[in-house]
Amino acid sequence: MVFDVTEQDFQREVLDRSHQMPVVVDFWAEWCGPCRQLGPVLERAANAREGKVALAKIDTDANPGISRAFQIQGIPAVKAFVDGRLHSEFVGAQPPQQVERFFDGLVPSEVDGLIAAGDEPSLRRALELEPSRVDALVPLARILHANGDDDGALELLGRAPGNFAAEGLQARIALQRGGEPDLADAFAALDGGDAERALELLLEALPSADGARDEIRKVVVGLLDELGVEHPLARDGRRRLAAALY
């Protein structure tokens, strides 16, 4: 979708519309040579994403108020709006590859959409398209583990070296296969979404775990990593894990 806008309809056509889809605004002028070079590149990128992103073109000479409002000092100037706010921007004519990357930053890729869906067929398709996507490998491994296919889960997890969540699930599978210590309640809490209880039970099991201490540690670290560094439970959990280990 490519259309012209003016100062009179900028609010409706750009800012309001950006709540439904990203809107890229091309600030240009007839006398600007680089604008004439960039314009068709922007239009091709927008048309390739029909229904997912809109391109609005505004003549800065005919609409000086908008130019002042957005502090346009050089053209072509390109600004992208999402949910009524400025999302990203660049100034000057850019090569097609750079323009494509700019638009890609506004529109989720097919793989991103498949990962967001989160079901087994979608995750498998995502990995067919991008085999190294850890954010698809680990969720799919969890599904396989929940369905009893531990070998399949471990094969996937082996493709995500250094990932804390992957190492945590690998350790959990090893612990469940080994049968010691008994962490059934902790894993049940984890599967039920009760991260606080799961963390409590895992940390309680550490002192007497003997040979399983490192595997439990990996499960805890994976859980903390999933919670995120700013989560209050994660901050307290890291402190308690360090105290239990050292």
> Is position 35 annotated as part of the catalytic site?
yes
CA distances from 96 to 39, 59, 82, 223 (A): 11, 22, 22, 42
CA distances from 26 to 13, 88, 203 (A): 13, 12, 56
- Given 23, 24, 32, 199, the catalytic residue: 32
> Is position 32 annotated as part of the catalytic site?
yes
For helices 120-129 and 134-146, the axis angle rounded to 10 degrees is 140
- Given 5, 23, 25, 35, the catalytic residue: 35
Catalytic residues: 32, 35
